[in-house]
Structure 1
Amino acid sequence: MARFHTLRVAAVDRLTDDSVALTFAVPPELREAYRYTPGQHLALRRLVDGVEVRRTYSICAPAPVPGDDGPRTLRVGVRLVDGGAFSTYALKEVNLGDELEVMTPAGRFTLDPAPGLYAAVVGGSGITPVLSIVSTLLAREPEARFCLIRSDRTAASTMFLEEVADLKDRYPERLQLVTVLSREEQQAGLPSGRLDEERLTGLLPALLKVDEVAGWFLCGPYGLVQGAERALRGLGVPRTRIHEEIFHVDSEGAPRPQGSTPAHSTVTARLDGRGGTWPVQDGESLLDTVLRNRPDAPYACKGGVCGTCRAFLVSGEVRMDRNFALEPEETEAGYVLACQSHPATEKVELDFDR
């Protein structure tokens, strides 16, 4: 089960005018608990006017080497969101030595290093988990190659610019780097403009042999990720080779299905070895029902994006408003996002421990 622990801020590094990297020190007794796979994220929480606020940020550092005692530090990238309660705090108030509550690593947008060719299409802060994936892969697997296609507004707004450049210098033959700026012309490279489905359909086959890529990692705003997926599927890439993580969902996101909760609905949930059954209020998500009775239920974003609240549907039926976190294989196997799920039958049973 994911747990929160209080960690000390060991470094605060300004990346751009609107982004920062926070590094946390991990004490020896917690290092095994914070061992992570490249691509995973951390949830941070704090109280704002008496209300708990949680936000999820991806780890951007190489993963610890198997067999060691776990990470001594954890580094995440934070980009300012207009009106964001946590991102504003992170950029303007967090200082060296501060203590924050940090959840143990979670997420399935990951890659276990193996030989082969891999590729990513990322936009903006979507570089954060992919930076961990690329740096870990190239360091551990001498037979691995990676093609990184990144889109940013301008050079000045590009997160981890120096870190990616250092990787390119370290692995010039194994890392192919392609940068596209949507609002600024470059002296060399591709013309400016958005990376949409049409452009990617023509660009990707010109950069690499699409059918030889063992895994595609798409990360960033909803529109970019969906456009990249459609381009790849149109080029014949199997869905099983495409991995997605959405960072921002706005008006172009999927519509929310409508429906009422059946009368006298209950949810039975198993969590950390203990179970209980509780009534579901009309319009309430299953996660909110569980949280009213088990405050330790896992969640981070409540937006269907991070996947922290994933649970196995043991019995009954649910309707899920939106899903930007679970792979098709996971939903087919019976997993749902509790924060987006509402009962479609009077009795529903969830297992958070599976």
Structure 2
Amino acid sequence: MFHPLRVSDVERLTDDAVAVTFAVPPELREAFRHTPGQHIALRRTARGEEIRRTYSICAPATADPVLRVGIRLVEGGEFSTYALKELTVGDTVEVMEPTGRFVLEPRSGRFAAVVGGSGITPVLSIAASLLARVPDARFCLIRSDRTVASTMFLDEVADLKDRYPDRFQLVTAISREEQQAGLGSGRLDRERLTGLLPALLPVADVDAWFLCGPLGLVAGAERALRGLGVPRGRIHQEIFHVDDAVDATATVTTAAARTPARSTLTATLDGRSGNWPVQEGESLLETVLRSRSDAPYACKGGVCGTCRAFLVSGEVRMDRNFALEPEETEAGYVLACQSHPATAEVELDFDR
């Protein structure tokens, strides 16, 4: 559900990134209380077209929720351009209640993250919440950025290091310039991480790994961890950018690539069911949206997972999947924005 929230602060982080804070009125505190790592969708209308974008909450999870997100300018990006060049304190933005499964409920243990660029945003909330609420928890952050000047949330991460020197470990890699301390320049690819991670911490003792950022970094980090013997269940991923040229065969499909001549979709959303014919070429999300404008979605690119639905019956073909964990697809969940019917009858449940 979306709510109109007033912008209470816009802070310039770098030349191409800002942090935006929204004022949460008392009556909406419960609705916007988030789990560390969750995201929100922002909505606006421009030139008669609805634009939605998803941004992770970077503030720690507290009883009195602080709704703060980091937004980096994307070339040609409708919402990011608006946020950096036009959005000001006092403006009102439509904000969806927090969602997402890239989360860590604070608990005792050792945790680590490998992030790139704006992938720091959900991990900042995860690390800050964990260290503040669990006295014996430890967190290792390995972050990669192009340059020091382009690094988001430098002060916030430095504050964690100062506040928890014995429990927070920070390793920084800059890919496009030399730095006096830390790692040498260059990308954090699979080969480099395979040698680096065991030198930093006992890999086998880490209770959960959080990988966030562009697809290349996340995929390389996952392969490095699996090669080091880390079980799949301990690795959590969130993709922040996928090149349009990425081959969809690298993603998960739930059926052979076939499309019936006619197909009907039955969908349940907020306790109400309906059925509609699927028009040629459209995704199942688009089918639902023709009659139910309240269907959940944000990116429509198979990245955020907002449109996750349970496949009750029938089969579907997913073009790409960068949001669902293997356990979720094995359990029967699909991304409605990427799913097309592979049988004459398909039923989805958005409420499960």
Q: Percent identity?
A: 78
Alignment of 1:121-270 (within 5 A): 121-251=114-244, 253-255=246-248, 259=257, 261-270=259-268
Question: Letter of the aligned partner of 1:105 in structure 2?
Answer: P
Task: Describe the superposition over 1:307-330 as per-residue Cα deviations: whole angstroms up to 9, x where unpaired.
Answer: 000001000001111111111111
Question: Letter of the aligned partner of 1:236 in structure 2?
Answer: G
Equivalenced residues, count: 347
Cα displacement (A) at 1:199: 0.2
Cα displacement (A) at 1:251: 4.6
Question: Letter of the aligned partner of 1:134 in structure 2?
Answer: A
- Indicate the residue corresponding to 1:102 in structure 2: 95
- Indicate the residue corresponding to 1:284 in structure 2: 282
Task: Describe the superposition over 1:18-50 as per-residue Cα deviations: whole angstroms up to 9, x where unpaired.
Answer: 000000000011110111100000100111110
Whole-Å separation in 2 of the counterparts to 1:6 and 1:254: 38
Whole-Å separation in 2 of the counterparts to 1:4 and 1:327: 26
- 2:16 corresponds to 1:23: no
SS of the counterpart of 2:248? Answer: coil
- Indicate the residue corresponding to 1:332 in structure 2: 330
Whole-Å separation in 2 of the counterparts to 1:189 and 1:318: 47
Contact 1:39 1:130 in 2 (8 A): yes
Task: Describe the superposition over 1:121-174 as per-residue Cα deviations: whole angstroms up to 9, x where unpaired.
Answer: 000000000000000000000110000000000100000000000010000000
Cα displacement (A) at 1:248: 0.2
Cα displacement (A) at 1:282: 1.4
Question: Letter of the aligned partner of 1:160 in structure 2?
Answer: F
Question: Letter of the aligned partner of 1:31 in structure 2?
Answer: R
Q: Structure 2 regions of 5+ residues with no counterpart?
A: none
Question: Letter of the aligned partner of 2:320 in structure 1?
Answer: R
Whole-Å separation in 1 of the counterparts to 2:293 and 2:210: 33
Whole-Å separation in 2 of the counterparts to 1:143 and 1:323: 36
Whole-Å separation in 2 of the counterparts to 1:249 and 1:186: 28
Whole-Å separation in 2 of the counterparts to 1:353 and 1:188: 49
Cα displacement (A) at 1:189: 1.4
**Runs of 4+ that moved beyond 6 A:** none
Question: Letter of the aligned partner of 1:332 in structure 2?
Answer: E
Question: Letter of the aligned partner of 1:218 in structure 2?
Answer: L
Cα displacement (A) at 1:90: 0.2
> For 1:311, which of 309, 312, 320 is the aligned residue?
309
SS of the counterpart of 2:139? Answer: strand
Cα displacement (A) at 1:253: 2.9
Give the TM-score normalised by the residue count of structure 1.
0.96
- Indicate the residue corresponding to 2:321 in structure 1: 323
- 2:111 corresponds to 1:111: no
SS of the counterpart of 1:293? Answer: coil
